Chains A and B, each alone.
Chain A
Amino acid sequence: MVPASARKARPKYLSLPALLFEIRLPLAGWVSILHRASGALLFLATVWLLFMLDRSLASERDFDFVRHYLGLVPVKLALLALVWAYCHHFCAGIRFLLLDLHRGVDKASSRLTGIAVLAASLALTAFFGARIW
């Protein structure tokens, strides 16, 4: 026998256009999905970061190569994206730790801390980005 859940037609709102254009995430949802996306990005980028750490500690010549390499604009932009990913993951992570401790769970303060996370991670990215540039 087919279970009732399998026979039921899919709700129309799970169509791709609906997911992309109609269903809007609440602010806390954006913080959450960006936390996941930034985490995935950092996992993939670790090989690149390790490469640069490895070269920068290898010898004076390799250190100078990394310094020159980090001066290239596309490299700077990629690094800036990773700086944002780290800052966002850091700030949103602290927010999730506080939520685990039942701090800021109600609707109003959850929205407030969500805004704070997005703003703080952008501000930190601007600060460290200015240092890189």
Chain B
Amino acid sequence: MVKRVVVGAHYGLRDWLAQRITAVIMAAYTVVIVAVLMPGPPLSFAVWRDFFAQGWMRVATLLFAVSVAWHMWVGVRDILMDYVKPTGVRLSAQVLVLVTIAAYLGWTVQILWR
């Protein structure tokens, strides 16, 4: 029997776990939002604005957005690692994705607290 020595800082496990935890957070948010909005009347601007102006809604949406950002980063990075072999191209693409996700997150904060 070969005894394998597992080395490294386990960054892979951390990302794997983060992707799953963020998935559960996003799923819960989705179900709550659909349950709250579906039975309600057709949306008017006032209803829509007041809905997003509530404190819990802002915090929950920010938590959702952070989860999306982290989940996206792990997922898109996996795709790039699988299909983009030249190191330089992959690194550039990863930087581009990180900048994009940071911009998404910044924009979300701006929308929520305008």
Contacts and interface: CB of A to CB of B under 8 A. Distances in A.
Interface string A86-117: 00001001100100100000000000000000
Contacts of A53: 111
A50 B108 contact: yes
A100 B20 contact: yes
Counting chain B CB atoms within 10 Å of each CB, which of A40, A46, A47, A53 scores highest?
A: A46
Interface string A9-41: 000000000000000000000000000100110
A93 B23 contact: yes
B72 interface: yes
A65 to B, nearest CB: 11
25 contacts: A39-B72, A39-B76, A39-B79, A40-B79, A43-B76, A46-B104, A47-B104, A50-B111, A53-B111, A54-B111, A56-B45, A56-B48, A57-B49, A57-B52, A57-B114, A58-B114, A60-B45, A63-B45, A64-B45, A90-B27, A93-B27, A97-B20, A97-B23, A97-B24, A100-B20
Q: Which size class do A's interface residues fall under? A: 20 to 34
A43 B52 contact: no
Interface residues of B, number: 22
A64 B49 CA distance: 13
Interface of A: 36, 39-40, 42-43, 46-47, 50, 53-54, 56-60, 63-64, 90, 93-94, 97, 100
A67 B15 CA distance: 38
Interface string B79-92: 10000000000000
A39 B107 CA distance: 20
A42 B100 CA distance: 13
Closest 7 CB pairs of A and B: A63-B45, A60-B45, A39-B75, A54-B111, A43-B72, A93-B23, A50-B107
A90 B30 contact: yes
Contacts of A54: 107, 110-111
